[in-house]
Structure 1
């Protein structure tokens, strides 16, 4: 596949992945809004000029726009970013005003906004539950069968037969938990709780850092302990356990994101690992070559991250609105419009700056900057 064909393929795969996730996110807002009697004037996938659309019998304009990097539901009366009453809103007839977003009590507005991220988490929960029912889960006892020479495990004195029961105080249920946790902590010291010959021990191990590249050339810096497990197997998950296991995996994914963000803020991990739409498009194209199951798992991961990111208390995101509603509920009156306006302008600037930064990272990971430097050299 040539460069142009590869680009078209990546964009198409990105739209296949991100389009449904945007749709279900906005559908969460829309359905809860309708439940509370709020009229939706527009439901858009993407921003910018309308490409195609239609108006339903309730007067909602459903449309697809030119820039498919998000979407929105515009509720009746939602005439400014802060969703504050305006002269236009006050001039509406009483019946119309009752169907507007601003007319609803703060707890209803909170739930309408919260519904978008919640549906993203729900989507991931349902898909993971389906995978657990259909395929089960890998379960390997956290018992060491071999220790690599000169590894972090060897330096820490880990031995064959040791059963790992905790990492930094967090319980370990299966060997897969060990690899998952240590990979997130390259060049860091981890406190390992273990059972050796019936005796409980805690030993520190400094993870070795290793940079791995997948078949597509994507690189990741991970931590390595240097141990091998005993033989494991796929275990069917009893139906009664499926909801809990699915929820655990969603929470674990959010925890991984929080850990990675904390490491970036703390300087333990490079900010170059942050990725944006360009990077997601490239990954979507790569995963599509591995089959539909890989694409579904990618959608699960992106859906969880969409839900998480939208809950961050940054103005312009759902979390920013939710923060103002919490303050309003505590104060029993809304935050002043000028404060909200300032906050939303600042939030927009922050998001635009972050978008530029991650796009710069994404383009750099494609080798663009090196190629340009070569042409100018």
Structure 2
């Protein structure tokens, strides 16, 4: 059951992406030959006007086929004959729809919370004494943080939500001084050599609490936007680690790993609400990841095609379709190779249990 749910979620994310291309192409007057939900053999197909609408057997994606995407075409309504700004909008629209889906998922997620967390500090680990004084166990308080400080960054890493805090604290392996930027009394303040350690028995790295706000339309929107920024930020950091070699090759994951990760979220939950919460979280993270990845200037991806549009904007004339096609073909071969490698990693982890 978990695998089926995972495949459907993955299919939803890709279909939403392709729908972005489809709707903007239609609105721009570009001829759409086919819009398909799913891949593989056709189950249903309906011709409406110039466009075929298909439902296919494998719910793992979809596609939007436009006239003249990869070749010169005499049809005035082909993709390549459309105005440059229209083509750019169509290319960006897929990722934009992934971001819209992510925001919607995060708004649902925040609505499921009892209250909306912020990054403003409220309370440190400690104990109130009989004489009214407080003995603090929190190293962060002892080294400079205070109640009401709004956390801006730690060691140069921007903090948008508590998700960033969890990401940062998960990476802290030793108790060393950190550079923390906070907003205190309306002004930015840089604090050096801040230590994070709860010295109480059983304490960990996180030695402070944060302010929680009641749910209102404004706090839900603000909280959703903050988590969206955090997820985008974390995806960006992961891509940076991959490009700089900080991410081990064994950590690279493909579709099998994604489906497995989503499937795992349906197991060992305290309640159905807990399972739904985790699935929404994973859906939001993956769709934001897909949106960002597709905008990278890699041949074969939307970002690669967008790069050629920008070159055309500067040169005032397009690159020859056959030349651009060769570049995209090379990019697709490279991406296909990476996908095979990632899938190999996924299967190896399933076999070894790693």
Same-fold call, TM cutoff 0.5: yes
In structure 2, how many angstroms separate the alpha carbons of the residues matched to 1:129 and 1:267?
A: 34
Residue 327 of structure 2 is matched in structure 1 by 343
Is 2:318 aligned against 1:334? yes
- After TM superposition, give the deviation of residue 133 of structure 1 in Å: 4.7
- After TM superposition, give the deviation of residue 101 of structure 1 in Å: 1.6
1:62 corresponds, among 53, 65, 71, to 53
Change (3 A) 1:240 1:146: closer
- After TM superposition, give the deviation of residue 299 of structure 1 in Å: 1.3
Is 2:190 aligned against 1:228? no
Is 2:28 aligned against 1:41? no
In structure 1, how many angstroms separate the alpha carbons of the residues matched to 2:320 and 2:230?
A: 38
Normalised by the size of structure 1, how large is the TM-score?
0.74
- After TM superposition, give the deviation of residue 283 of structure 1 in Å: 1.6
Is 2:249 aligned against 1:260? no
2:97 corresponds, among 83, 96, 119, to 119
Change (3 A) 1:10 1:332: same
In structure 2, how many angstroms separate the alpha carbons of the residues matched to 1:321 and 1:108?
A: 13
In structure 1, runs of 5+ residues without a counterpart are: 1-8, 91-96, 148-152, 209-223, 371-377
In structure 2, runs of 5+ residues without a counterpart are: 127-137, 198-202, 270-274
Change (3 A) 1:189 1:53: farther
Residue 94 of structure 1 is matched in structure 2 by none
Residue 202 of structure 1 is matched in structure 2 by 191
Q: Kindly provide the CA deviation profile for residues 215-260 of structure 1, in whole angstroms up to 9, marking residues without a partner as x.
A: xxxxxxxxx97132247645324x2454444333222211101112
What RMSD, in angstroms, separates the aligned Cα atoms of the two structures? 3.6
Tell me the number of residue pairs that the alignment of Structure 1 and Structure 2 aligns. 326
Q: Kindly provide the CA deviation profile for residues 299-341 of structure 1, in whole angstroms up to 9, marking residues without a partner as x.
A: 1111111111111111111111111111111111111234312
- After TM superposition, give the deviation of residue 155 of structure 1 in Å: 11
Change (3 A) 1:354 1:186: farther
Q: How does 1:93-108 map to 2 (within 5 A)?
A: 97-108=75-86
Q: Kindly provide the CA deviation profile for residues 184-239 of structure 1, in whole angstroms up to 9, marking residues without a partner as x.
A: 5667974224699xxx662346999xxxxxxxxxxxxxxx97132247645324x2
Q: Kindly provide the CA deviation profile for residues 76-130 of structure 1, in whole angstroms up to 9, marking residues without a partner as x.
A: 233xxxx231xxx33xxxxxx2332222111101111111110010111123234
- 1:76 and 1:99 in contact (8 A); partners too: yes
Residue 269 of structure 1 is matched in structure 2 by 247
- After TM superposition, give the deviation of residue 36 of structure 1 in Å: 1.3
In structure 2, how many angstroms separate the alpha carbons of the residues matched to 1:104 and 1:43?
A: 19
Change (3 A) 1:170 1:351: closer
Residue 300 of structure 1 is matched in structure 2 by 284
Residue 9 of structure 2 is matched in structure 1 by 17
Structure 1 SS opposite 2:288: helix
- After TM superposition, give the deviation of residue 145 of structure 1 in Å: 2.3
In structure 1, how many angstroms separate the alpha carbons of the residues matched to 2:342 and 2:178?
A: 30
In structure 1, how many angstroms separate the alpha carbons of the residues matched to 2:178 and 2:291?
A: 29
In structure 2, how many angstroms separate the alpha carbons of the residues matched to 1:172 and 1:252?
A: 7
Structure 2 SS opposite 1:77: coil
